[in-house]
Amino acid sequence: QVRLVESGGGLVQAGGSLRLSCVASGRTFSINGMAWFRQAPGKERERVASINWSITRTSYADSVKGRFTISRDKAMNTVYLQMNSLKPEDTAVYYCAAKSSSLVLYDYWGQGTQVTVSS
């Protein structure tokens, strides 16, 4: 059982920056990796960025490479998503997720935090 609490969403103008945070609690020792997903209205969920929990191996969606950075504070069981040069198309509900094994899908999810980028 892992619980995730997200924060940092809000309204920002195009070109601005925003930093999302996700704090994990519970059986955090079982976490294999964490990720940020996003879902815009009428569109399917997509993975934005992911990070291995033991080592800082990261991956990004092509749409955010060079603009977004995922990082972690292992001691605080926290993962961050630094979003720079935001675009209106980045507008979505952003979800924090965690997985207990590299062989399974992400099995723990946060409530989501709204990110709105205005032009």
* pLDDT number for residue 27: 92
* pLDDT number for residue 40: 97
Q: For 105-116, how does the pLDDT look when each residue is reduced to its tens digit (9 = 90+)?
A: 999 999 999 999
Low-confidence ranges of the chain (pLDDT < 70): none
Q: Which of 26, 25, 34, 28 is nearest to 53 (CA)?
A: 34
* pLDDT number for residue 1: 87
* pLDDT number for residue 37: 98
* pLDDT number for residue 56: 78
Residue pair 90/83 in contact by the 8 Å Cβ criterion: yes
* pLDDT number for residue 75: 86
* pLDDT number for residue 13: 98
Which pair of structure tokens corresponds to residue 46?
Answer: 């997509």
* pLDDT number for residue 43: 95
Residue 25 CA neighbour count, 13 Å, CB half? 5
